Amino acid sequence: MQDEEGVWQQHYRPGAAEFLALMDTCYEVVVFTAGMESYASPIIDTLDQGGYVQHRLYRDSCLILQGRDRPLIHVKDLSLLGRDLARTIIVDNSPESYMLQPENAVPIKPYFADKTDDELAGMSEFLVQVARADVPDVRKMLARCHTKGRFRVRSSDHGPASSVPARERGG
């Protein structure tokens, strides 16, 4: 985000470093971003002080497709990871990004430098539950969450409809 003087500043989602540390205990952590390597790599370096990110893929690894509302969209093809898709999960705020493998997706709402954002706390809890379940195909477990309403779709001011987690709150 740019500040009032036009200087770009990075805002990390609250709990991001802790999220990476916890995910490292359950998963092989890969950052797959539509950002250019020259831009994204220093950000990841700063965020990942513990060295939890094992692999990085950048914009040059994305498929570029013509979008309806935008000239181009960057799509993350999980098959490029060379991993078993039955054991692969993508957490992303853009349904376009995971349109090739939506059954592997856990949507998260976009982050706009809100210091009260608590998405990663709920996401951590959910992903740890998935890891502990040790199911042969995570897509089946994710599909059950989608059909039971754990995830819902709502429109956003920032583009087409996006998926966001619907976390259960106490009470």
Residue pLDDT tens, the chain, 171 long: 444 555 556 889 999 999 999 999 999 999 999 999 999 999 999 999 999 999 999 999 999 988 677 678 899 999 999 999 999 999 999 999 999 999 999 999 999 988 998 999 999 999 999 999 999 999 999 998 876 555 543 333 333 333 333 333 233
* Contact yes or no for 64/74 (Cβ under 8 A): yes
Q: Which amino acid, one-letter code, is at 40?
A: A
* Contact yes or no for 56/87 (Cβ under 8 A): no
C-alpha span between 82 and 103 (Å, rounded): 17
Exposure of 56 in the CB half-sphere (CA atoms within 13 A): 18
As a residue count, the chain comes to 171
CB atoms within 10 A of CB 156: 14
Rg, Å, the chain Cα set: 16
Cα dihedral 36, 38, 41, 43, rounded to 10, equals -90
pTM: 0.78
C-alpha span between 75 and 80 (Å, rounded): 11
pLDDT tens track for 66-115:
867 767 889 999 999 999 999 999 999 999 999 999 999 999 999 998 89
Instruction: CATH number for 16-165: choose from 1.20.1250.20, 3.20.20.70, 1.10.3720.10, 3.40.50.1000.
Output: 3.40.50.1000
CA-to-CA separations, 127 to 28, 91, 122, in angstroms, rounded: 12, 10, 9
C-alpha span between 67 and 115 (Å, rounded): 32
C-alpha span between 100 and 102 (Å, rounded): 6
- Of the candidates 130, 120, 105, which has an alpha carbon nearest to the alpha carbon of residue 27? 130
